[in-house]
Amino acid sequence: MAFLQLQKDLEKLTSSAQLSNAEEDVDKIIELLTDAREKVAAANDPHTTSLTLTKLQNPIKEKLDGLNSDLKLVYKAQNEFNKSLKTAFSKAKGSLPTEHDPMEAQSTLINRAIAMHLLREGQFEVASTFIQEAQPTPEATQSQQFSSSTLEPSTSHRSQPPSDAIIADADIPSDLTSLQSKALESSFADMYSILRELKEQNLLPAIHWARENHVELEARGSNLEFELCKLQFIWLFKGPAFNGLPDNSDNGVSGALRYARENFNRFQLRHLREIQQLSAAMVYSPNLIDSPYGSIFDISAAFEEVAGSFTREFCSLLGLSAESPLYVAATAGALALPQLVKYNSKTKARNTEWTTANELAFETPLPRSMMYHSIFVCPVSKEQTTETNPPVILPCGHVLARESLQRLAKGNRYKCPYCPSEGTVKDAKEIIL
C-alpha cells in the first residue's frame, strides 16, 4: 500500500512540478533582452537607449515574478514528495544494516546504469554532463572520445543485431567514456524521432526502419513490419474522414488496395490468413463497424501498442532490454524493501545474522512483468517445467514440478522425496526462478 501511495504522489509531482514553465519564462526574458540590445545597437542614440530600457522594466519584472512563482511550485511539490518518502519508509519497523554497503564496490556499474537510463530517455545533454562529472579520474573526465570497438551502431536508422550488442556483460569498461558516443545518441535520437511520428499517427518512418532491419527482425521471429503495414492499410482504408489525408486515389479503399498490392506479397507465407481477412473486409466497407471484421479495424489503441512493440524491437537490436534496467531495479527494490526491513528486524530480535551471500534469504514478491527466464528441470520427472506445470517449493525448501508433487501425493498429503518432511499439497507455493 505504501508503494502505491508513493506512485500516486510521484504522479502528482510530475504533473504539478514542471520546470518547462520556468524554462519558457527564462527563454522569454532572454528574448526581451536580446530584442532590446538590438534596438539600442541599431539606434545608437542615448534617448532611444533610455526609452528602450524604461519600456523593458515592466515586462522583465513580470517574467521574473512568473519565474519565481513557477520555481516555488516546483520546490513545494518536491518538498511534499520528500515528506511522502519519509512517511512511507518511517512506517516500516526496523532498519536496514548501514555498516556495509553491498553496492559500494559497484559504483561504475551504477553510474553506467544511470547514464544509460538518461540516454534511453533522450536526455543527451544531461547524460553527457553526468558522464563527465562521474569520471573517477581527471584523465577519464577529459576523455571525450569513444572507442569504436565497443559501440558501433550505424548512424542511420539501421541497428546492429544482438550479437554486436552495445553493452556486453564480459566487456564493461572501467570508466563511462564508452557511453559518450555520438553514434549511440544518434540511435536513440532516431528512436525518439520515429516515436514522435507514431504519436502523430505517421507510420511511414517506422515502416522504413522495420524494412531496413527486416533480416534481424525475422531472425528474432518478430512480426513488427507486418503489424506496421497492416495498421497502415487500415489507416488508409478508413479514408479521409478518419485519417485526415487528402481525398484522392492514394487514400480510402482504393488507396488501401493499392498499398496491399505493393506491400503484402512478401508477407503471404507467414500472414496469409490476416491478409485474406483484410481483403475480405472491403466487401463490408459501407458498414464496417457491424461487420465480422469490425474488431480488426478497431485501432483506437493500435498506435500506442505498435509504439511499444517498436521500442522493444529497437532496443533489442541494440542489445538492450525494452525497459530501462535502472527503472526495473529501482522499482523491484522499492517493492522488496518493506519485506527486507521486516526480515532484518526479526533476525536482530533473534540475535541471528543474515549469512547468505549475493542473494536474498527469502522470495521477493514481484509482478510477473519483472520475472525473467523461469527455467527449471524437475529432479523427479527430469522434465522442464512449463506455465501449465510450474515449479513449486515445499515448506521444507525442496523444489519440484507441480505435476510431480500431485503424483507423489496420496490424497491431499505428500512426503518430500528428498527429506522426511510431510505436508499438504496446498502448502506448496508456485515460484519463478
The better pLDDT of the pair 360, 223 is held by: 223
- Domain annotation covers residue 102: no
- Tell me the mean pLDDT in the region 278-307: 84
Give a yes or no: residue 221 inside a domain.
yes
Residue 99 lies in a domain: no
pLDDT confidence band for 4 (50 / 70 / 90): low
- Whether residues 398 and 303 share a domain: the answer is no
State how far Cα 150 lies from the chain centre: 23
Residue 42 makes CB contacts below 8 A (sequence gap 6+) with none
Of 42-51, 332-341, 369-378, where does mean pLDDT reach its minimum?
369-378
Q: With contact defined as beta carbons under 8 Å apart, do 327 and 369 qualify?
A: no
Residue type, 170: A
Distance CA 64, CA 67 (A): 5
Range scoring the smallest mean pLDDT among 35-44, 108-117, 135-144, 299-308:
135-144
- Kindly state whether residues 304 and 392 are assigned to the same domain: no
pLDDT number for residue 209: 94
Question: Which pLDDT belongs to residue 197?
Answer: 93
Q: Of 60, 86, 112, which residue sits at a domain end?
A: 86
Could you give the number of structural domains in the chain? 3
Average pLDDT of the chain? 79
Same domain flag for 296 and 214? yes
Question: What are the tens digits of pLDDT across the range 202-233?
Answer: 999 999 999 999 999 988 888 999 999 999 99
Lowest mean pLDDT across 73-82, 294-303, 349-358: 349-358
Domain end residue (candidates: 292, 317, 342): 317
Is 60 exceeded by the pLDDT of residue 21? yes
Beta-sheet strand order (sheet of 391-393)? 399-401, 391-393, 429-430
In a domain, 213, yes or no: yes
**429 strand-pairing partners:** 393
**Has residue 363 been placed in a domain?**
no
Do 296 and 381 have their domain in common? no
Q: Is the pLDDT of residue 299 over 60?
A: yes
% of the chain beyond a pLDDT of 90: 13
Q: What is the CATH number of the domain that holds 397?
A: 3.30.40.10
Q: Average pLDDT in the 10-34 region?
A: 82
Residue found under cell 502505491: 4
> What domain range includes position 407?
374-430
* pLDDT for the residue numbered 410: 82
Determine contact, residues 422/413, Cβ cutoff 8 Å: yes
Residue 310 shares a structural domain with residue 407: no
pLDDT at 353: 63
Which pLDDT does position 233 carry in this prediction? 93
Amino acid identity at 83: K
* Position 160 in a domain: no
- Could you tell me which residues come within 8 angstroms of residue 190 by beta carbon, excluding any fewer than 6 positions away? 156, 157, 209
pLDDT exceeds 70 at position 133: yes
What is the band of 148 on the pLDDT scale with cuts at 50, 70, 90? very low
pLDDT of residue 149: 39
Least confident piece of the model among 167-171, 245-249, 279-283: 167-171
Q: Looking at the structure, do residues 284 and 216 belong to the same domain, yes or no?
A: yes
> Which of these ranges, 13-17, 109-113, 213-217, 390-394, has the smallest mean pLDDT?
13-17
The one-letter amino acid code at 115 reads: A
Pick from 37-51, 208-222, 364-378: least confident = 364-378
Question: Which tens digits make up the pLDDT trace of 70-84?
Answer: 888 888 888 888 888
pLDDT of residue 243: 86
Q: For 70, which DSSP code?
A: H
pLDDT digit string, tens, across residues 82-103? 888 777 766 554 555 555 566 7
151-204 pLDDT, tens digit each? 343 333 333 333 333 333 333 344 566 665 677 778 888 999 999 999 999 999
Q: What pLDDT does 226 receive?
A: 93
Q: Are strands 413-415 and 391-393 parallel, antiparallel or unpaired?
A: unpaired
Q: What are phi and psi of 413, to 5 degrees?
A: -110, 155
Looking at the domain assignment, is residue 387 inside a domain? yes
Q: What pLDDT score does 346 carry?
A: 77
Distance between CA atoms of 110 and 306, rounded to whole angstroms?
Answer: 31
The answer to whether residues 379 and 297 belong to one domain is: no
Q: 86, 112, 146 — which closes off a domain?
A: 86
Residue 54 lies inside a defined structural domain of this protein: yes
